[in-house]
């Protein structure tokens, strides 16, 4: 395994720091590589991965389930796919999404199947 592959950067930040942090990184030339969500006991664990020169930097946010988080589509428009996916599958709530499918991005047979309410 190459040395570069062993680098696993995870930086914890507060939900309120997300937009400013990503804006700064974008200005430095980082591109959005992916966003994903994991259900944890405290709520949602969100991971935002940015790439520059083939090295990933990952920002980690713990978001209580009932709280909303600011959309990053104003910074990286391409994030609309991830945010709609997380909204549909987990029920993560985003504020000010540039393109919001209102829970119909994926045609699922029950709401938020990866975080069922029952």
Partner 1 sequence: MGKRTIIPFGPQHPVLPEPVHLDLVIEDEKVVEAIPSIGFIHRGLEKLVEKKEYTELVYVIERICGICSFGHGWGYCHTVEGLMGIEIPERAEYLRTIWHELSRVHSHLLWLGLLADGFGFESLFMHCWRLRERVLDLFEKTTGGRVIFSVCKVGGVRKDIDKETLDEMVSVLRGMEKELKELTETFINDYSVKNRLVGVGYLSKEDAIELCAVGPMARASGIRQDIRLTGNGVYDKLEFEPCVETAGDCYARTLVRMREVYQSIDMIAKAVELIPDGEISVPVKGNVPKGEFMARLEQPRGEAFYYSKGADSKFLERIRVRTPTNMNIPAMVKTLQGCDLADVPMLILTIDPCISCTER
Binds partner 1 (CB under 8 A): choice among 95, 102, 107, 117: 107
Between CA 81 and CA 100 the distance in angstroms is: 9
Sole window of 15-23, 62-70, 77-85 interacting with partner 1 (rule: CB under 8 A)? 77-85
Residue 49 in the binding site for partner 1 (CB under 8 A): yes
Residue 12 in the binding site for partner 1 (CB under 8 A): no
Range 87-93 contact pairs with CB under 8 angstroms and sequence separation of 24 or more: 88/112, 89/37, 89/113, 89/114, 89/115, 90/37, 90/39, 90/44, 90/114, 90/115, 91/65, 91/115, 91/117, 92/37, 92/44, 92/46, 92/63, 93/67, 93/68, 93/69
Residues 16-35 binding partner 1 (CB under 8 A) are 31-34
Sole window of 12-20, 48-56, 64-72 interacting with partner 1 (rule: CB under 8 A)? 48-56
Footprint of partner 1 (CB under 8 A): 1-2, 4-6, 8, 10, 31-34, 36, 38, 47, 49, 54, 56, 58, 76-78, 80-82, 88, 99, 101, 104-108, 113-114
């Amino acid at each position: 395994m190459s040395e570069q592959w062993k680098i696993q950067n995870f930086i914890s930040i507060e939900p309120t720091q997300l937009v400013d942090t990503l804006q700064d990184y974008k200005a430095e030339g980082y591109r959005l590589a992916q966003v994903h969500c994991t259900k944890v006991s405290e709520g949602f664990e969100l991971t935002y991965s940015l790439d520059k020169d083939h090295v990933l930097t990952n920002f980690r946010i713990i978001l209580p389930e009932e709280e909303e988080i600011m959309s990053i589509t104003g910074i990286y428009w391409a994030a609309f796919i991830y945010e709609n996916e997380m909204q549909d599958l987990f029920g993560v709530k985003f504020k000010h999404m540039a393109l919001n499918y209102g829970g119909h991005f994926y045609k699922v047979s029950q709401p938020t199947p990866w975080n069922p309410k029952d």
